[in-house]
Amino acid sequence: MPMQNGTLSAITLRRLLQVQVFTIAWMSVEAVVSLAAAWMAGSPTLLAFGGDSAIELISAAVVLWRFRAHEMPEARERWVSRIAGALLFVLVAFVVANSTLSLFGHREPRPSYAGIAVLIVAAIAMPLLAYEKRKLSAQTGSAALRADAAESEFCGYLSLIALVGLAVNAVWHVEWADPVAALAITPLILREGWEAIHEKPGTCVDDEYTEK
């Protein structure tokens, strides 16, 4: 339903808030399970995926905050975005170090069936969430929501790459598949971090969001 008189319709706003609350709930589960599994299995791939999921919570929370409060200072949104981008670069450094140790035999990543399960759910759920967010961003004109939709879609791609690495290790016991998958993910995370740091946030004008 399109905007009426410069404001969001009640149905659109309610749907948007529902989608963002679900995103935050799922990303919390995704991050906790992935990072716990990464710790127990010594998996660089799950470390990369779980760390990225934890940081993506920031994006989802910012969008929810914007639409519930109807405004967020541009300087604050840019600051949050830059912090998230910097954390992604830190994450990549940890993942590369962990993957290198695994490849040189200092650590042996073990199969993680909990990690595989959460990756399967993410590979299915995140593209669906991204599709819904793209529809809502078109209805609201929100640049922040459009960026959040891209991150949800990006998370789906990450889950597929990570799933391949974990599945190969679990089925064929190829231990190097896990760190190799983690290293394959890191360029994507670096790009996400770069875009977050240089993001041009949307601004709120009469409850409509436009990209500056």
pLDDT tens per residue across span 69-79:
656 666 777 78
pLDDT at 205: 35
Is 211 a member of any domain? no
Is 159 a member of any domain? yes
pLDDT truncated to tens, each residue of the chain (212 aa)? 344 434 678 888 899 999 999 999 999 999 999 999 999 999 999 999 999 999 999 889 988 888 886 566 667 777 878 888 999 999 999 999 999 999 998 888 999 999 999 999 999 999 999 999 999 989 888 878 888 898 899 999 999 999 999 999 999 999 999 999 999 999 999 999 998 888 754 444 334 434 33
pLDDT at 49: 96
Q: Are 145 and 204 in contact (CB under 8 A)?
A: no
Domain count, the chain: 1
Q: Are 23 and 16 in contact (CB under 8 A)?
A: no
Which residue from 203, 189, 116, 108 is spatially nearest to 155, judged by alpha carbons?
189
pLDDT at 123: 96
Is 85 a member of any domain? yes
pLDDT at 105: 84
This prediction has a pTM of 0.86
pLDDT at 212: 38
Is 1 a member of any domain? no
Is 203 a member of any domain? no
Can you spell out the DSSP letters for the chain? ---BTTB--HHHHHHHHHHHHHHHHHHHHHHHHHHHHHHHHT-HHHHHHHHHHHHHHHHHHHHHHHHHHS---HHHHHHHHHHHHHHHHHHHHHHHHHHHHHHTTS--PPP-HHHHHHHHHHHHHHHHHHHHHHHHHHHHT-HHHHHHHHHHHHHHHHHHHHHHHHHHHHHH--TTHHHHHHHHHHHHHHHHHHHHHT---EEEETTEEEE-
- Domain holding 158, by residue range, is 10-198
Is 3 a member of any domain? no
Is 207 a member of any domain? no
Is 43 a member of any domain? yes
pLDDT at 7: 61
Can you spell out the DSSP letters for 110-145? PP-HHHHHHHHHHHHHHHHHHHHHHHHHHHHT-HHH
